[in-house]
């Protein structure tokens, strides 16, 4: 019985030791290019930001519709288990996202606002809830989509900055956020190319 307890304790200790000391530490700043998508990821302490962009030849009205209209959200945020429209007004609406992974559930509400004169859609987190506090909680999140006219077409720019509650899993969370952000940009590019042809 003592040996069984020792073995189990040792296994748990090894796993925790791996996560705390051997999991790759996120770089303070990283930039690159994947499939014509440019990205830049920065983080300091419990804050991180992501900026990504790509150029596409398409109609402006189609691009602004994809980036703002609620009907497109399920196609460009494929990792969400559910996306619901909560309320809407003139040039704004509140949207609720639910993300689930194994036993973990996260629910957040964002407000998206269309600023057509700036060719920009801004978003800001209104609320956030999760069922397991072991993982870092997002304290604030905001950003924008912007459409810029260039000689070869329109550049779609996405920016988001977040602040999370610091826990011992913070670095794992930030690494995951970086991967999910680049994946999102690649999926957005593919959907825009497919829809605005």
DSSP assigned state of 100: E
Q: Give Cα separations from 60 to 36, 77, 128, 140 (angstroms).
A: 20, 21, 33, 30
DSSP assigned state of 28: S
Per-residue pLDDT tens digits for 61-120: 999 999 999 999 999 998 899 999 999 999 999 999 999 988 889 999 999 999 999 999
What is the spatial distance between Cα 25 and Cα 171, in angstroms, rounded to a whole number?
A: 6
What is the pTM for the complete model shown?
A: 0.82
Per-residue pLDDT tens digits for 170-197: 888 888 899 999 999 999 999 999 999 7
- The count of domains in the chain is 1
For 151-177, the DSSP string reads TTEEEEEEEEEEEE---TTHHHHHHHH
Q: 150: domain CATH number?
A: 3.30.530.20
* Domain that residue 148 falls in: 2-195
């Amino acid at each position: 019985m003592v040996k069984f307890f020792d073995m189990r304790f040792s296994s748990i200790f090894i796993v925790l030791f791996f996560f705390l000391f051997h999991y790759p530490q996120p770089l303070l700043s990283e930039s690159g290019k994947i499939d014509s998508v440019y990205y830049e990821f920065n983080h300091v302490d419990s804050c991180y930001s992501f900026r990504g962009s790509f150029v596409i030849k398409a109609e402006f009205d189609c691009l602004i519709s994809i980036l703002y209209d609620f009907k497109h959200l399920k196609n460009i945020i494929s990792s969400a288990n559910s996306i619901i429209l909560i309320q809407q007004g003139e040039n704004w609406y509140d949207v609720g996202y639910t993300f689930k992974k194994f036993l973990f559930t996260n629910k957040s509400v964002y407000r998206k606002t269309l600023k057509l004169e700036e060719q920009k859609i801004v978003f800001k987190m209104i609320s956030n809830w999760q069922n397991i506090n072991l993982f870092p909680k997002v304290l604030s999140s905001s950003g924008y989509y912007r459409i810029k006219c260039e000689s070869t077409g329109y550049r779609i720019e996405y920016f988001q900055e977040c602040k999370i509650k610091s826990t011992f899993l913070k670095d794992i969370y930030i690494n995951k956020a970086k991967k999910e952000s680049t994946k999102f940009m690649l999926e957005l590019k593919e959907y825009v190319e497919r829809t605005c042809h």
